[in-house]
Chain A
């Protein structure tokens, strides 16, 4: 009890201190100088109308690629832990908590929804440089669609090894796509078309990159989903 009171006092002090420190920020609306530059020159330099995508896929592409790599490592870790025999099972799942059977109407509706979810995911990915969206967001939608297909009995294939291999290959493709510009423009991790080409052509690089990131993220998240479903069975 005294410990919790001390903790509350400490956090209260930290809260008040942070509040007084950030109070001047509440009514001002700051803007980073980088953001201002991107707003003014982003389209000419990267050919992306979505300026968030311009930062993600061109200015800091190096970071984005290894951010996708973190997801790859996480999926590999989940895969390794979920089937590792190093963990014995002295306390298996309680028997009385049986999995409830899915209702037929849910299965029927998810069968109808599945192709539309795939279509929506690909739309978000391909138009990531023109409208809100991009590879990461569309990849999550694709993985959710895949999760529905796991629940549809006829389509259920729960083998995650090919997906893991696909994810590794896609990550290598991403790295090599980022490195093409080293040979065409002399600088790694940027658009491989030079700045004088028509922006409609330079868009191709962003669409390709978004597609690769989207497929990679969706396969990684699908591995995580399927392993969790298997763990519950």
Chain B
């Protein structure tokens, strides 16, 4: 129960940060927090207290469900791609406008 509520708190933190932060880099960081929370949530849901890794060995024991782990690899790869693109975009935006503040950027967009 404690683990789940902490993970949900992390999701809430990510959403709150995305909604309120005015700095572009901070927005990207909160996007990553949200993504990490989603990954933790999936892995926690299919956790077994005495489970072993889903690899066939001679050791035996009950293996955890391999499906969520396979899905989360996809999430990690796509998260890395999105973060790389977003960071490169923020560099270019800084070169163009000299600021990374959402509010000022939107005002400059209106003036053009």
Q: What is the interface size of chain A, counting residues whose CB is below 8 A from a CB of the partner?
A: 63
CB closest chain-B residue, reference A39: B63
> Does the CB pair B88–A82 fall under 8 Å?
yes
Which of A36, A67, A87, A228 contacts B77, CB < 8 Å?
A67
Which residues of A have CB within 8 Å of B54? 38-39, 50-52
CB closest chain-A residue, reference B13: A11
Given contacts A31-B46, A224-B84, contact A51 B74 (CB under 8 A): no
Interface membership of A77, Cβ < 8 A: yes
CA distance A134 to B70 in the complex (A): 11
Q: Mark B1-32, 1 if CB is under 8 A from A, else 0.
A: 10111001101100110011000000000000
Interface membership of A101, Cβ < 8 A: no
Interface membership of B112, Cβ < 8 A: no
> Does the CB pair B4–A22 fall under 8 Å?
yes
Q: What is the interface size of chain B, counting residues whose CB is below 8 A from a CB of the partner?
A: 49
In the assembled complex, how far is the CB of residue B51 from the closest CB belonging to chain A, in whole angstroms?
8
Which residues of B have CB within 8 Å of A224? 84
> Does the CB pair B66–A49 fall under 8 Å?
no
> Does the CB pair A19–B70 fall under 8 Å?
no
CB closest chain-A residue, reference B55: A50
> Does the CB pair A29–B16 fall under 8 Å?
no
> Does the CB pair A91–B56 fall under 8 Å?
no
Which residues 124-167 of A sit at the B interface, judged by CB distance below 8 A?
Answer: 130-132, 134, 136
Q: Is the interface of A mostly helix, strand, loop or mixed?
A: helix
User: Which of these binds chain B: A54-62, A113-121, A170-178?
Assistant: A54-62
> Does the CB pair A43–B45 fall under 8 Å?
no
> Does the CB pair A52–B70 fall under 8 Å?
yes
Interface membership of B89, Cβ < 8 A: yes
> Does the CB pair A55–B15 fall under 8 Å?
no
CA distance A8 to B88 in the complex (A): 31
In the assembled complex, how far is the CB of residue A50 from the closest CB belonging to chain B, in whole angstroms?
5
Which residues of A have CB within 8 Å of B63? 39, 51
In the assembled complex, how far is the CB of residue B66 from the closest CB belonging to chain A, in whole angstroms?
4
Interface membership of A90, Cβ < 8 A: yes
> Does the CB pair B77–A71 fall under 8 Å?
yes
> Does the CB pair A49–B85 fall under 8 Å?
no
Which residues of A have CB within 8 Å of B76? 136
Interface membership of A35, Cβ < 8 A: yes
Which residues of A have CB within 8 Å of B95? 87-92
Interface membership of A182, Cβ < 8 A: no
CA distance A12 to B12 in the complex (A): 8
Listed A/B pairs (18) with beta-carbon separation below 8 Å: A11-B16, A22-B4, A26-B4, A29-B47, A30-B45, A31-B65, A35-B66, A49-B56, A51-B54, A56-B70, A64-B74, A67-B78, A71-B77, A74-B85, A77-B88, A91-B94, A228-B87, A231-B88
The 7 closest A-B pairs by CB, nearest first: A35-B65, A74-B81, A91-B98, A55-B70, A51-B66, A51-B54, A35-B67
